[in-house]
Amino acid sequence: MESPFKADALKGKVALVTGGGSGIGFEISTQFGLHGAAVAIMGRRKHVIDAAVGALQARGIRVVGLEGDVRKREDAGRVVEETIKNFGRLDILVNCAAGNFLASPEDLSPNAFRTVLDIDSVGTYTMSYEALKYLKNGGPGKGPSDGGIILNISATLHYTAAWYQIHVSAAKAAVDATTRGLALEWGSDYNIRVNGIAPGPIADTPGMSKLAPEEMKGEHRDNTPLYRFGEKWDIAMAAVYLASDAGKNVNGTTLVVDGGLWLSHPRY
């Protein structure tokens, strides 16, 4: 589907997208690139990153692939520095790297619980912490286009409770709290806007194939007010909106892009 935004909406900006090699992260990287940004994509698997870089270059996007694990502080720091080395600046950090699997609490070891918090919650904080010195170059008191942007990809699981995803629910609750805390403090101090996006089930993503067995898919779709699954494109368009000047007064919010699914429950 064609973007409703102008092709230069992110012109001159440099974005770093964790988990940018596949799924939602890849689509955000693609759309940022098509709207004028240069993009660094970070991921753990070299072959995934290499394939993503090739696909983006084929569409004329300035891109670099950087191997790294958001759980390792040294990787986070190195990837931020390599982004600067390649593109000279950093304007937008997208924390999209996530870990997930279905497990009931009695089958979920404390280490398994911690692993997902390490990736989603601590990883989001670590990347933001390492990126701060470049994101704050906009500085307080400058125009809305000057400050840095952080976008944290979250979920809606923790708004209520979700079967077999207690670890992810806890992790995303921490991500949302981090979004608000950084929006308050870094918004005030450095003109950095920090927002989140909470997708519902999105077709053709690693998350969907891991988390939604075939038999669940019809039920999810039937319970969605708009009666369809989301597309990666929907999340990427929300990201373009929040990262562009269109979102210049949005700070500390997590935009739910789920067709209304989390509100939904059986009619009777």
User: Cβ 177 to ligand HXC, closest distance in Å?
Assistant: 17
The residue (of 155 and 257) whose beta carbon lies closer to ligand HXC is: 155
Q: What residues contact 210, with CB distance under 8 A and at least 6 apart?
A: 100, 101, 102
User: Cβ 97 to ligand HXC, closest distance in Å?
Assistant: 8
Rule CB under 6 A: which residues touch ligand HXC?
98-101, 103, 107-109, 111-112, 115-116, 155, 157, 168, 206-207, 210-211
The residue (of 115 and 137) whose beta carbon lies closer to ligand HXC is: 115
User: Which amino acid appears at position 263 of this protein?
Assistant: L
User: Cβ 210 to ligand HXC, closest distance in Å?
Assistant: 6
The residue (of 109 and 249) whose beta carbon lies closer to ligand HXC is: 109
Looking at the DSSP bridge assignments, the partners of residue 193 are: 149
Count of other CB atoms within 10 angstroms of residue 91: 23
The residue (of 95 and 244) whose beta carbon lies closer to ligand HXC is: 95
User: Cβ 21 to ligand HXC, closest distance in Å?
Assistant: 11
The residue (of 9 and 166) whose beta carbon lies closer to ligand HXC is: 166
Angstrom distance (rounded) from CA 83 to CA 103: 36
User: Cβ 18 to ligand HXC, closest distance in Å?
Assistant: 11
Count of other CB atoms within 10 angstroms of residue 143: 10
Angstrom distance (rounded) from CA 41 to CA 22: 10
User: Cβ 104 to ligand HXC, closest distance in Å?
Assistant: 9
The residue (of 93 and 116) whose beta carbon lies closer to ligand HXC is: 116
